Structure 1
Amino acid sequence: MGHAQRATIADVARRAGVSKGLVSFALNNRSGVAPETRTRILAAASELGWSPSVRGRSLSVGRAFACGLVIGRSPDVIAADPFFPAFIAGLEDAFSVSGQALVLAVATPGRHEAETYRGLAADRRVDGVILTDLRVDDPRISLVAELGLSAVTLGVPGGPSPFSSVCSDDGVGIRLAVEHLAGLGHRDIAHVAGPAELLHAARRRTAFDVAAAELGLRSTVVETDFSAADGARATATLLGAAEPPTAIVYSNDSMALAGMGVAQQRGLSVPRDLSITGFDDTEMGRHVHPSLTSVATDVRGWGAIAARTLLVAVAGGAAEHITLPDPRLVIRASTCPPLDTATSAASLEGD
C-alpha cells in the first residue's frame, strides 16, 4: 500500500484474518467480539495506521461522531483553573481511540449557554454532551433531554435526571483537610469557597461547616467565583479581620496559591503564621515554596471515565452511576501547628 493511500476496514480485515463486519464491531467498541480477536484487530489497525473516516461514518449511521463540552464560566476563570486542561486531556484519552471529536465551547451561564446547547443539537453536530458544574435546580438537565442528546453529568444532580453520572465525594476531601488542621492544633479556621450555586462548591462548604462544628472549631466562610483573583481578595478579607484564622482551607489550588502570596506580602510566614490547604493537587502546588498540602483527585482519569460513560450512553446503553474513589489529602509543607501551640510545646520541652 502506498504511503498516500488511506488504510480501509477491508485492509484491516485482511491483516487480522477476519471479516469486515467483525472489524467494524471491534473498532466501534460493540459487543460480540472475543477479547483476543478484538486485540488482534486493534493491533492490525494500529500497524496499518488506520483511522476512522468521520464523514463516512456520519453519513452511514446518521451520527456526528462528536461529543460536546460546554463550560459555563468566564474565560478568565477557565484560563487560570488547571482543572479543565487536565479534564479535557482525559476526555481526549478516550475519544481519540474511538474516533470521536471533542467540540468545546465556552458560554455565559443562562440564555447564551442554552443557545449553545441548542446550536450543538441542531444538524446533529454532537451526539452527546458532558455536563459540568452542576447547579441547584439545573435547567440544563431538562433542556438537553428535550434536545434528544445523550449526556453524562459530573456529579449527581440535585433533582431527577435521566442521564448517567460520574461522581467523586468532594466532601470527603474537605473533611480530611479540616481534620488534619484540627489534629495540628488549629482552633480557628476559614474556608475560601466556590460559588454557592454550584453543587460541588456547596457540598464542599457543607462538609467544611459540619466538620468544623463536630470538632468544636471557630470557623468562617468567604464565597468566591473560584478564580485566583477572588481567592486573593477573600484571603485579604480574612487576614484583615480582628481575629484572623490560623489556617485556611481553599476550594481549589489556584486560590490557595494566590492566598499564599497575599499572606507572604503581608509579612506572614506560611505555615508558621498561617497554614494553607488546597484542592485538586495541581502540579504547580507541588513545586512552590512551601509546597502545598492539597486534596488529590484524579482529574484526568475522571475525564477518561466520563468520556467512556458518554460513549456507552450514545450507543444506547442504560444510564449508569459511577462513583470514583474518595479523594485523599496529600500533606506537604504548607501546614504545621499554629504558632501559639508550637510555642507552648517548645516551652514545655524547655521545662
Structure 2
Amino acid sequence: MAQQPTINDVARAAGVSKGLVSLALNDRAGVAPGTRARILEAAEELGWHPNPSARGLTSRRAYALGLIVRRDPSIIEADPFFSAFIAGVEIVLAERGQVLVLSVVPDVESELKAYTRLARDKRVDGFLITDLLDNDHRIRLIERLGVHAVTLGEPNIDTTFPVISRDYDRGIAALTEHLIALGHTRIAHVSGDEQMLHGRLRRDQFVRSMEAAGLKYRVIPTDFSPEQGAAATDTLLDSAEPPTAIIFGNDPMAIAGMSVAHRRGLRLPDDLSITGLDGSQIGSYVFPALTTLKNDPTEWGLAAAGSLLRLIEEGEADDVALPPAELVVRASTAPPARP
C-alpha cells in the first residue's frame, strides 16, 4: 500500500519549513500570500489530508462531537428521526474530517457516567443534547465539565448553550383545526413521554386548541414507542365513546395505530382519521398516506452540528430557529362517518 504523504513531504515539495506549512494549513497568520498558495497547492498535489489524532495532540481538540441517547434501543430503531438527524450531523462532520461519538444508555446513572467519561478523557469537543427534560440536569453537568454543547429545543432553565428550535405550536394548532374543520368533535391525542419537554409541549398545544374550540378531548401518555402507541389505540377504540380522529405524538406511533385500526376492520380514514407529528418519509408510503407535520430531522442535524462547531472553533454561536413545522395533509384524514 502507498504510504500517506506527511507534512514533511508537503514542506519539501513547497520548499519551506515544516513550521511554515503548519501555519499555512491551519490558516494562521505569519505566512505570505504567495507562500501560503504554494503550500496549499503542494498539499493538494500530494493528496495530503490532516490527521485528526495529530491535530488533537497540538490543538488539544478531539475533533469529535458526542451524542448520548437515553432511550430503549428498540425505540430508537423504530424512530426514523434519529437516523435522519445523525445523517445531518455526519454530513457536516464528514466535510471537516471529524467524527460523531454515539452512546446509547439505559438509565440516568449510565448517562451521567458517559458524559463525564467522554468529557474528562477529552474524547469529544462538545455534546448534542436531545430529548430535553424538565429542569434538565445535563445542562448543569456539562457546564461543570467545561465542555461546549447545543440543545435541540429551548430548555426551561437558564443556559449558556446555543439553542436549535422549531415552532411546533402553529403546526399542531393547524392540524387540530384541520380535523375540526372536517367535522371531528371526538379527537384524542396519544402523547409521547411527558417527562420530555417536546412531548409535554405538543400535548399542551393540543389541549389549548381543543379547549379553544370548546370540545372534549382525551390524552394518553406513552414512551413514544410503537408498542405503546398501538396499546393506546386499542384503549381508545374500546372506550364507550371512541374518538373519530387520533393525533399521535410521532409518526411511528401513528403507523402502529393504523395497523391496529386495520386489524379491527376499520376503514381509514372513513371510520377513523389518524395523524402523526414528525413528517417522516415513511409516512408518505403507508396506506393511507399519513397526515403529519413537516419536520425534516436532517435539517436539525445540519443546524445542530454547524452551530456546535462554530461555538467550539470561534467561541460563540447564535441560536438557530428552523422554519416552523407546517401541516402536511395526506390521505389518512377525512370527515367522520355519518352516525
- Name the TM-score, length of structure 2 as normaliser: 0.90
Aligned residue in 1 for 2:106:
108
Aligned residue in 2 for 1:290:
288
Quote the Cα distance in structure 2 between the aligned partners of 1:252 and 1:90: 20
Q: Secondary structure at the match of 2:223?
A: coil
Whether the 8 Å contact between 1:134 and 1:155 is mirrored in structure 2 is yes
- Call closer, same or farther: CA 1:97–1:337 in 2, change over 3 Å: same
Equivalent positions of 1:1-351 (< 5 A) are 4-6=3-5, 8=7, 11=10, 20=21, 21-25=23-27, 49-340=47-338
Root-mean-square deviation (CA), in Å? 2.7
Report the Cα offset of residue 174 of structure 1. 1.6
Aligned residue in 2 for 1:346:
none
Quote the Cα distance in structure 2 between the aligned partners of 1:3 and 1:181: 64
Whether the 8 Å contact between 2:274 and 2:333 is mirrored in structure 1 is yes
Quote the Cα distance in structure 2 between the aligned partners of 1:194 and 1:297: 16
Aligned residue in 2 for 1:349:
none
Whether the 8 Å contact between 1:12 and 1:23 is mirrored in structure 2 is no
> CA offsets per residue over residues 211-269 of structure 1, 9 Å max, x none?
11112222111000000000001111111100001000111110000000001111111
Whether the 8 Å contact between 2:193 and 2:199 is mirrored in structure 1 is yes
Q: Secondary structure at the match of 2:27?
A: helix
Quote the Cα distance in structure 1 between the aligned partners of 2:12 and 2:212: 63
Q: Secondary structure at the match of 1:124?
A: coil
Q: Secondary structure at the match of 1:213?
A: helix
Report the Cα offset of residue 46 of structure 1. 7.3
Q: Secondary structure at the match of 1:235?
A: helix
Task: Give the partner amino acid of 1:202.
Answer: R
Task: Give the partner amino acid of 1:72.
Answer: R
Quote the Cα distance in structure 1 between the aligned partners of 2:62 and 2:218: 49
Task: Give the partner amino acid of 2:5.
Answer: R
Quote the Cα distance in structure 1 between the aligned partners of 2:149 and 2:76: 22
Quote the Cα distance in structure 2 between the aligned partners of 1:219 and 1:14: 73
Say which is worse superposed, 282-291 or 246-255, in terms of deviation: 282-291
- Call closer, same or farther: CA 1:7–1:171 in 2, change over 3 Å: farther
Whether the 8 Å contact between 1:86 and 1:299 is mirrored in structure 2 is yes
Whether the 8 Å contact between 2:279 and 2:296 is mirrored in structure 1 is no
Quote the Cα distance in structure 2 between the aligned partners of 1:44 and 1:291: 54
Report the Cα offset of residue 195 of structure 1. 0.9
Report the Cα offset of residue 159 of structure 1. 0.5
Whether the 8 Å contact between 1:13 and 1:23 is mirrored in structure 2 is no
Q: Secondary structure at the match of 1:242?
A: coil
Quote the Cα distance in structure 1 between the aligned partners of 2:307 and 2:224: 27
Report the Cα offset of residue 13 of structure 1. 12
Quote the Cα distance in structure 2 between the aligned partners of 1:50 and 1:336: 59
Report the Cα offset of residue 330 of structure 1. 1.2
Report the Cα offset of residue 201 of structure 1. 0.6
Report the Cα offset of residue 7 of structure 1. 6.4
Q: Secondary structure at the match of 1:292?
A: coil
Q: Which consecutive residues of structure 1, in runs of 5 or more, have no partner in the other structure?
A: 344-351
Q: Secondary structure at the match of 1:339?
A: coil
Aligned residue in 1 for 2:17:
none
Report the Cα offset of residue 147 of structure 1. 0.6
Quote the Cα distance in structure 2 between the aligned partners of 1:117 and 1:279: 30
Report the Cα offset of residue 328 of structure 1. 1.0
Q: Percent identity?
A: 44
Whether the 8 Å contact between 2:151 and 2:163 is mirrored in structure 1 is yes
Quote the Cα distance in structure 2 between the aligned partners of 1:88 and 1:146: 26
Report the Cα offset of residue 49 of structure 1. 4.6
Whether the 8 Å contact between 2:280 and 2:296 is mirrored in structure 1 is no
- Call closer, same or farther: CA 1:7–1:334 in 2, change over 3 Å: farther
Quote the Cα distance in structure 2 between the aligned partners of 1:338 and 1:196: 29
Whether the 8 Å contact between 1:231 and 1:258 is mirrored in structure 2 is yes
- Call closer, same or farther: CA 1:268–1:145 in 2, change over 3 Å: same
Whether the 8 Å contact between 2:4 and 2:48 is mirrored in structure 1 is no
- Call closer, same or farther: CA 1:7–1:281 in 2, change over 3 Å: farther
Q: Secondary structure at the match of 1:201?
A: helix
